[in-house]
Chain A
Amino acid sequence: MRTLAQRLGDAARFVAERALRRKLRVAVTGLSRSGKTVFLTALLHNLHLAARLKEGQTGHLPFFDPVAKGTLEDVALTPIDDLPAFPFLPNLDRLLDAAPDFPPSTTGLSGFAAALRYRPQGFFGRQLVDSTTVEVEIVDYPGEWLLDLPMLEQSYAQWSAATLQFAQTGARATLAGDWRQIDPDMPASEGALEQARLSFTAWLQACREPPLSLSFLQPGRFLRPGDVTDLAAFRFCPLPVTSDAALRPGSMAAAMRDRFERYKAEIVRPFYENVFSRFDRQLVLVDVIGGLNAGAESFADMRHALAAVLKSFARDDEGFLARLFRSSTDKVLFAATKADHVTANQFHNLRLLLHAMVADDLGRLPMSGAEADFAALSAVKCTANRRVLYQGQQITVLEGIIKNRKDVEQLFPGEIPEHLPTPEDWAAGRFRFYDFEPPSLARDRARGIPHIRLDKALQFLIGDLFW
């Protein structure tokens, strides 16, 4: 029979365990193709393996303290509430396949909670419990959807005016579309509205594809509707109207205004409530290298899209989310992904360039007040750095299998500028960074996925929660 003292002890331990438990949500923010899914897949796989390491070994995460100190005991994945589960295993199987491939782009919402069980090292924690848990919730979603966020603050007339003005400048002006000819006063019909949607969606798709490769594409759901089957709320496009109030009832403009409001209420808002209504830490992934590859206009457009999205996350009154959901974050990591496309001696410049990209023209960062850091990372490291002698000069080159080719080749990727590229930089055509095939990991699945600075990113985002 257990004594009263034993029972009291057990109760105290239970309370302490609960008190030491930490739960937080990390918002992973990134435009489409920024590498969110592969980031999460590689991270989870490496964490799983790290929990099973022998003492003294640090696996692939030596800069993540619980792994370095050998205190991480277990990683368990559970789904979050009513969200579909993140397809971790299918994604991992693709990466670890004999013919490895990157996970496909995300088409819908999914999420997971990773419970990291560890042995506390702090004085109090050590006295109280043997082990406790940090639970990290992460939601994955198509990057396109992010750009709908600024629309929540706009009326139909405001959004139309901004979008039309944009559509008449730069590369966008060169793309024709039937939607440009719609008369706002024309009587509305479901057929005409559907035609407008199809035409505008096709136009957005053309903007996204090369050679334009633009990023600031609203509404984002038009490009990736996800699991929405009733597209009635999608039947709108920008029209030249002056104000929402003066629209003639029954006209195309009035119908589209109503659909616009429905779109905001039924499609956009639930997404943000799901993903961003509360989060504690934020990871902003930016495909800087893809932006450089796509050229001056595309790069500028990506910067514009980032600014529009990040403005919503500001912690003060300007920040839409902060006002709406009382969301606030105390740490934000801006990360340039695909760092393995350049040699390691360019990482420093990559970080500086990322800083220049997300800061406004006065050098101010979005989400001021949160502790911010910049990183160059790569969720799956596809290349190796080699020092070689070439044409009488010592240079560092990349070695790997270039995408859609067969053999290992050496590549001199050139330099990343430390500031926003100048017109001369663009004219010189100096940015041509190759994509690489993922490394073959099938033979040694237990060794984990080689990466660049995933562990440091993790340490910055959640390392302080481990006592």
Chain B
Amino acid sequence: MSDAVRIKPGILPTGTTTPLPGAVLEPEPALPAVLQAAALSELNRPRRGFRWGRWLVISAITLVAGIGIIDAATWIDDLFARSTALGFVGTALFGAVAAALLGFAGSEYRNLLRLRSAQGIRDLGYRYAQSAGTFEGRGFMTDLVKLTSASPAGRALCDDFRDALADTHDDREALQLFERIVLRPLDEIAYGAVRRAARDTAVGASISPVGGIDAAIVLWRSMRMVREIAEIYGLRPTRLSLFALVRRMIVTAAFSVTADMVGDIVGAHVGGRIAGLVSGKLAEGIYAGVRTGRLGILAIEQCRPLPFAADDRPNLRQLMSQSLGSLIAPAAPETR
């Protein structure tokens, strides 16, 4: 510290100092401009070259929509073949359900965008986590606490964190404490959200009669899961990683529709036994559930304000056995 060269050690006369924020966690200061800048630059970063991602999304959407429409059309056609009235009712119901689900997914997406992107926070968090012996991150910690306090669970945990944090904990220790006291319990809550979403998707995909509805359920339920996860941590994925997540949702949805159709085709040509294996609705549902679970873990990794420690990463297999195991034995406890 260069200032120490000139200021002589000793007792400072009363009233000669002006307090500054810094050594302790401030209650509620404004968001540091540097964070906003970091988040904005991430959002506005120009991209070059052919956008394969966008192409994939567009083609996947077309695929899902196409298959969904064909599937639905076949189903509705069947209904019409039985009776015209049945056909109209079926069409109306299908349209209503699909529109509602897609509407829900859309509103979840808009809610998600209202939250702050995690990127700037994660970058700074990573930097402070490396710096032992420095005390520059208190403003950042304050910001982190403010974001995380948005949810009731987060607020209680942040109170515990404030209690535990002392002015002598350096930046790295402060972040370690935040991780231990706040993030780990939040992780558990987020895992719960993933387990529920995986189960719902599996159940929904297993019982829905039409591929189009499957796809809409997958889309809506996973979008809602991502939004829940984002709210748990108080941060959303960056727009870029959100696109990546949505892409995965659409692919999952596409798979759930195609599995349905392929199953039907195989069933028609090969016969009952293999068809039972391939297109059994439960197997298809479980597959959609597992994919949703994987998506949930990715979303957690994207929303968490600090990266996971290497030995602390969530375990998909464990999560899924807890979630989908409850399909078979519903009495199994929800939490670990």
Contact = CB atoms under 8 A, between A and B. Distances in A.
Given A62-B181, A409-B14, A452-B168, A388 B20 contact: yes
Query: What range describes how many residues of A lie at the interface?
Result: 35 or more
A430 B20 CA distance: 26
Interface in A398-433: 402, 409-415, 430, 432
Interface in B6-46: 6-12, 14, 16-24
A413 B166 contact: no
Contact of A345 (B10, B133, B164): B133
Interface in B164-178: 164, 166-168, 170, 173, 176-177
B7 A390 contact: yes
Given A348-B133, A389-B18, A409-B11, A62 B1 contact: no
Interface in A142-167: none
Contacts of A169: none
B160 A385 contact: no
A2 B272 CA distance: 53
A196 to B, nearest CB: 44
B168 A412 contact: no
Nearest to B185: A56
A411 B164 contact: no
Nearest to B4: A415
A120 interface: no
Contacts of A381: 166, 168
B157 A394 contact: no
A135 B58 CA distance: 64
Contacts of A386: 17, 19, 23
B168 A68 contact: no
Contacts of A372: none
B86 interface: no
A396 interface: yes
A345 B160 contact: no
B312 interface: no
A384 B169 CA distance: 12
Contact of A58 (B11, B17, B134, B180): B180
Interface-central residue, A62, A393, A411, by most chain B CB under 10 Å: A62
A6 interface: no
A393 B22 contact: no
Given A58-B180, A347-B168, A391-B7, A397 B12 contact: yes
Nearest to B132: A348
A370 B7 CA distance: 42
Contacts of B18: 388-390
A387 interface: yes
A330 to B, nearest CB: 23
A390 B168 contact: no
A432 B177 CA distance: 33
B11 A344 contact: no
B80 interface: no
A57 interface: yes
A373 B262 CA distance: 62
Contacts of B135: 344-345, 385, 396
Given A345-B133, A450-B166, A393 B7 contact: yes
A344 B20 contact: no
A374 to B, nearest CB: 12
A385 B167 contact: yes
B255 to A, nearest CB: 35
Interface string A294-317: 000000000000000000000000
Residue of B4, B14, B160 with most partner-chain A CB within 10 A: B4
A389 B166 contact: no
Given A57-B163, A344-B135, A395 B7 contact: yes
Contact of A395 (B4, B10, B168): B4
A394 B168 contact: no
Given A395-B4, A412-B9, A63 B173 contact: yes
Contacts of A63: 173, 176-177
A264 interface: no
Contacts of B185: 56
A25 interface: no
Contact of B3 (A393, A409, A432): A393
Interface string A420-450: 0000000000101010000000000000001
A453 interface: yes
A411 B12 contact: yes
B180 A62 contact: yes
A450 B181 CA distance: 18
Contact of A415 (B1, B21, B160, B167): B1
A390 B12 CA distance: 9
A380 to B, nearest CB: 13
A453 B181 CA distance: 17
Given A56-B185, A344-B135, A389 B173 contact: no
Contacts of A394: 3, 20
Given A387-B22, A395-B7, 9 more contacts: A63-B177, A344-B135, A348-B132, A384-B24, A390-B18, A409-B11, A410-B17, A412-B9, A413-B9
> Which 4 residue pairs are nearest across A and B when measured between Cβ atoms?
A414-B9, A387-B22, A348-B133, A388-B17
Interface of A: 56-59, 62-63, 68, 339-340, 344-345, 347-348, 381, 384-391, 393-397, 402, 409-415, 430, 432, 434, 450, 452-453
24 contacts: A56-B156, A58-B160, A59-B164, A68-B180, A68-B181, A344-B168, A344-B170, A345-B133, A347-B168, A384-B167, A385-B167, A386-B17, A387-B22, A388-B17, A389-B18, A393-B3, A393-B6, A402-B11, A409-B14, A410-B11, A410-B12, A412-B7, A412-B12, A434-B11
